[in-house]
Amino acid sequence: MTTVITCAAVNESMRSTVTGGLLLDIPGAVLVRHDIDPDAGILRRVIADGNGVIDDRSIPLAHACLGCALREDIIPAIREVLMRRPEVIVLALPLSAEPVPALRALAELAEEGMCKVGRVVAAVDGEEVMWDLCGDDLLSERDLGFGADDDRALGEVLARQIECADVVVTAGPVAQAEETVLRHMHPGGAAPVPVCELQASSLLDPLPQEEVEHRGDPLVAAPSGVADAHGVWTVELSSWRPCHPDRLRENFEGLGGTPGRGRGVFWLPTRPEAVCQFDSAGGQISIGTHMTWQEAGVDPVTRLVITGVDGDPTEAQAAFEAALLTDAELAAGLNSWAGRPDDYDPWLGERRDVA
């Protein structure tokens, strides 16, 4: 059965280098590559193998987003190529695409018995990774956005690609600080692999369904276990207490407004049933409603994993503790918060929608 390997990147040169190398290293592999042109409303599809381009076409795209691209051509293209029964398909996602939606779509094909979901590769520019992860550039400033309304930070997307990857691949060896930050970001703490040392066979092991489901899940965010070094540090902040809505807002800067990466979940006494997601990168913070605690099957918890570059980790710890409810506030009970406005509706939705 065909195995589908997924490659994610924000750098075209690295994407081409890695996917081209896989075509050479895996006999009979077929490349399926897509690119989104939001201005023209076009999705370009290229299918190639070791002998050259098989298909190159452009498809009108109803909306310049990954969801539409997956539905309208990426998954249909995979289905078409699967009919040829190649040993391996290398799926090169559009630049700045996050792997999780694609993995879940591939998992549906796997459930139909059409393919096996292989490993995920993040193709990273090792020389620029520190700035790309920790700088404040938006995708739109790099011409990588999926349209005028795509306000994602470059660091946010790159971090998610790294966190979802089984292997992080660079053009060559990277400096110590860059290697350390990549290892802190990667869930397994694995060192980046130069493309010339990448073992293609290691990418063919199928991903279990439960791993696909948990990739990118903020509920399972955890430190990589790599030691702090070269100015890179990670702290795990955890408490059963909810956050005070106002004090959490006041302490956002200390939790995610500095160079680095933050992810995890929190809960508010104003919406005790909602799992609230926290995500920060490039000095930007985003929050949203993930699911309910009942759906998650766990007790409410506030847990954030913060990775910083330079700076002081104790400041994040202090901001976290300041945001939590005090003993006196807890003693008043959650019922005392019923009906009280928290001003989080624009990000978390109306409480009747998330409870």
Residues 67 and 153 in one domain: yes
CATH number for the domain spanning 274: value is 3.30.1220.10
Contact call for residues 161 and 99 (beta carbons, < 8 A): yes
164 and 268 inside one domain: no
Section 228-252 average pLDDT = 97
Give the orientation angle of helix 176-185 with respect to helix 154-164, to 10 degrees.
70
In a domain, 223, yes or no: no
Domain boundary among 216, 251, 283: 216
Confirm whether 111 is domain-assigned: yes
3-state secondary structure of 312: coil
b (16+ CB within 10 A) / e for 75-105: bebbeebbeeebebbbbbbbbbbbbbbbbeb
pLDDT at 126: 92
Angle at 311 between CA 310 and CA 316, to 5 degrees: 130
* Predicted local confidence at residue 63, as pLDDT: 80
Claim: this prediction has a pTM higher than 0.85: yes
What's the total number of domains in the chain? 2
Note the pLDDT tens digit of each residue in 67-94: 888 888 999 999 999 999 999 999 999 9
At residue 142, the 3 state secondary structure works out as helix
Range of the domain at 164: 3-216
Using pLDDT thresholds of 50, 70 and 90, give the confidence band for residue 61.
confident
Q: Do 164 and 267 fall within a single domain?
A: no
Quick check: 19 and 222 in contact, CB under 8 A? no
The answer as to whether 348 is a domain residue is yes
Residue 314: CB atoms within 10 A of its CB come to 9
Q: List, in sequence order, the alpha helices (H) in 144-292.
A: 154-164, 176-185, 209-214, 245-250, 252-256
Q: What is the pLDDT of residue 353?
A: 44
- 239 and 327 within one domain: yes
What per-residue confidence (pLDDT) applies to 211?
87
Between 62 and 299, the more confident residue is 299
Same domain, 41 and 139: yes
Q: In percent, how much of the chain has pLDDT > 70?
A: 99
Residue 227 domain-assigned (yes or no): no
**Strand ranges inside the chain, DSSP E:** 3-9, 30-37, 42-49, 52-60, 88-92, 116-123, 167-170, 193-194, 232-239, 260-268, 271-281, 284-292, 302-309
CATH number of the structural domain spanning residue 204: 3.40.50
